[in-house]
Amino acid sequence: MSKSAAGLALACAVVGLGASVAAAYVHYHLLIDPTYTSFCDVNATVSCTQVYMSRFSTFRGIPVALIGAIWFAGASLLALGGLVGSETARENAPGYLFAASTVALAVVLYFEYVSFVVLKAVCVLCLTMAAAVVALFFLSGSTTPFPMTTLPRRAARDLRALFTSPVALVVTLLFLGGAATTLAWFPREGSSATSVSLEAAANAGQTAAAAPAPTQNQASEFEKYWEAREHVAMAIPAEGAKVLIVKFNDFQCPPCRNSHMAYMPLLDDLKSKYPGQVRYVLKDYPLDAECNNNITNTIHPSACEAAVAVRLARTHNREEQMIKWIFDNQPQLTPDLVKQGAREVGLVTDFDAKYAATLESVKSEIALGKQLGVMATPTFFINGKKVDGALPPQYFLQAIEYELKHAK
């Protein structure tokens, strides 16, 4: 690999590393601070937050941006080896980069598809990372001087040589140790912002009294954030309540389950404390192409059946029991299992006969969600103020109490 090509590859890798670190920075602050506004949020469409608050932003709880940062750090080391390494390193570096960038290219193409087609959002940082990967792919592919079929043999030889070079061995161990430490340190989430806090609250069964109260400074900052939220007109009656909470929900969505488990004790306490003043409305927005034509690929293949099961169970006064059963069995849900649960828990004996007609009412709520700009689940509206994802329980409670205090 020539020095000019290696230098260009290093520049591309460093640019990608910078973008991915910035993306991880944004993701981190979205997790820990509900008032945080990303510097790359231009409008509703050009918005990093829309992407990082979606279920696609993590892989097994690890932010994709963090994985990208580790990949680009490794690519930078390979490019550096091609620039200042031994003759063998300079020869083999482009082959390693080409193999790594081929895999990365498939990944970034998938995520760009998700961003543009599924989420209908543009993430500037994601585009920067994708451009860096594409550049590395073509650059390394055009400068690899040997057949790729010989790469495994070369890799085995280089791996043996690694243990004879103290400098290379130290650099490799530092890279692996840094990657492992970063992955262990970074907060995990289910597939949306704040799901760590929500899941912890759900598992702990927190009530309003037990939810950790924000500090005075945090509460003040959140109030400023909440006051600035844009109000959206809701065609849903409040029925005399001062606060109307609307949740667009997918029963197969893990953050929807977490928010349900965390929020319901809070809502029960609020309804007891303020009788008739707080109304909670659940709306369906299943991410299943069977009933939701706003998405092009099915994310949750049992979500339409689950929504119908809850509606049919409602006619037998078994709605709460049905919701609990669905969330308890969420990881293994299939359409057939939903039908079984509807029959055994919801007392629904005519699921198939009523499915098509009931699905039409689900579709009407999906249409309402689209009109209100819902793109992911859960999405909340508290007195018309939209919350993408879900707030940590203490801030959810503060938002409702703020609306109770200031409601006209």
Determine, yes or no, domain membership for 256. Answer: yes
Which residue, among 301, 276, 60, has the nearest Cα to 183 in the 3D structure? 60
* pTM score, whole prediction: 0.56
Note the pLDDT of residue 192. 40
Helical segments of 85-205, H only: 87-113, 124-143, 151-162, 166-185, 195-204
SS3 content of the chain, % helix, strand, coil (to 5): 65, 5, 30
On whether both 253 and 147 belong to a single domain, the answer is no
Domain co-membership, 327 together with 379: yes
Residue 67 in any domain: the answer is yes
Of the three residues 185, 214, 236, the one that is the final residue of a domain is: 185
Top-confidence residue, 52 or 145: 145
Under DSSP, is residue 281 helix (H, G, I), strand (E, B) or coil? Answer: strand
pLDDT class of 86 with cuts at 50, 70, 90: confident
Structural domain contains residue 368 = yes
pLDDT score for 193: 39
CATH code for position 97: 1.20.1440.130
Identify the weakest region by mean pLDDT among 26-35, 239-248, 280-289.
26-35
Q: Is 340 exposed, middle or buried (0-12, 13-18, 19+ CB in 10 A)?
A: middle
Q: Within this chain, do residues 58 and 160 fall inside the same structural domain, yes or no?
A: yes
Q: Which domain holds residue 120?
A: 3-185
Say whether pLDDT at 139 is over 50.
yes
Question: Cα–Cα distance between 182 and 187 in angstroms, integer?
Answer: 10
Give the total number of structural domains in the chain.
2
Residues 367 and 307 in one domain: yes
Q: Which residue has the higher pLDDT, 71 or 189?
A: 71
Residues 151-179 have a mean pLDDT of 86
Could you say which of 158, 185, 212 is where a domain stops?
185
What is the rounded CA–CA span in Å between residue 287 and residue 254? Answer: 12
Burial 137-168 (b: 16+ CB within 10 A, else e): bebbbebbeeeeeebeebeeebeeeeeeeeeb
Instruction: Give the residue among 379, 397, 401, 396 at the shortest CA–CA distance from 388.
Output: 379
Q: Are residues 336 and 316 in the same domain?
A: yes
In a domain, 396, yes or no: yes
Q: What is the pLDDT of residue 110?
A: 92
Asked whether the beta carbons of 396 and 198 are under 8 A apart, the reply is: no
- 383 shares a domain with 286: yes
Round to whole Å and give the CA distance between 230 and 396: 17
Shared domain check, 265 and 350 = yes
Do 235 and 137 share a domain, yes or no?
no
At residue 149 the predicted structure's pLDDT band, cuts being 50, 70 and 90, is very high
Alpha-carbon distance of 403 to 79, in angstroms, equals 55
Q: Examine the domain organization and report whether 203 and 136 are in the same domain.
A: no
Tally: H helices and E strands in the chain:
15, 6
CA distance 239 to 236: 9
258 shares its domain with 345: yes
86 within domain boundaries:
yes
Candidate from 22-36, 131-145, 234-248, 299-313 with smallest mean pLDDT: 22-36
> What is the layout of strands, in order, in the sheet containing 243-249?
278-284, 243-249, 379-382, 385-388
Q: pLDDT band at 367, cuts 50/70/90?
A: very high
The residue from 156, 185, 214 where one domain ends is 185
Residue 380 has pLDDT above 80, yes or no: yes
**Least confident window among 196-205, 269-278, 286-295:** 196-205
Q: Which of 98-112, 164-178, 250-264, 317-331 has the lowest mean pLDDT?
A: 164-178
Q: What CATH number has the domain bearing residue 229? A: 3.40.30.10
Residues 112 and 200 in one domain: no
Unique residue bearing structure tokens 């991880």: 24
Domain membership of residue 190 (yes or no) is no
- pLDDT at position 214: 67
Identify the pLDDT of residue 190: 39
Task: Tell me what the pLDDT averaged over the chain comes to.
Answer: 86
At residue 271, the pLDDT reads 92
Which of residues 90 and 105 earns the better pLDDT score?
A: 105
Do 118 and 243 fall into the same domain? no
pLDDT at 15: 95
